[in-house]
A = this chain, B = another copy of it.
């Protein structure tokens, strides 16, 4: 855990945060900020995760994606269990510095989703009429890239109802 002094610059004005050259991230009440992870080749969104200050610092230092696992409440080096490490090709911060965009190359099968798909966003919501409980999602990936049971074994599923 990082304690005491932060490795980031203070947020002293809106102009500095939006138009400056200093990294001054804003973490939410839980100490987290959301992270969009896209595939460098192709640009698909692979996942949406979260970082705390330590995960952001580790990602910057190592060039490999580190997140904070909300389900397990620990620093999470993506791929440590599955081998599907995400190498950072570009790391961006947004205008008000409360969100991060990671452009990555994924090791191994190239998957980033614990269900086994390449992207977590494997289903489309059809548009053009008001939603109803009968709405049917459309699958955009035909098959899983790995067997989650084989990779994760009996580890608890992070999905919460």
Contacts and interface: CB of A to CB of B under 8 A. Distances in A.
Interface of A: 7-14, 17-23, 26, 34, 36, 38, 42-45, 47-48, 56-57, 59-63, 88, 90-96, 99-101, 113-115, 117, 120-133, 135-137, 139-140, 157-161
Given A91-B125, A125-B91, A34 B11 contact: no
A159 B14 CA distance: 7
A127 B88 contact: yes
B8 A101 contact: no
Copies in the complex: 2
A157 to B, nearest CB: 6
Contacts of A93: 121, 123, 125, 137
Contacts of A92: 45, 121-125, 140
A45 B125 contact: no
B63 A135 contact: no
Contact of A95 (B60, B99, B115): B115
20 contacts: A8-B133, A17-B161, A18-B115, A18-B159, A36-B36, A38-B43, A38-B45, A43-B43, A43-B44, A45-B45, A45-B92, A57-B131, A60-B131, A61-B129, A61-B131, A63-B128, A88-B127, A93-B137, A94-B121, A96-B160
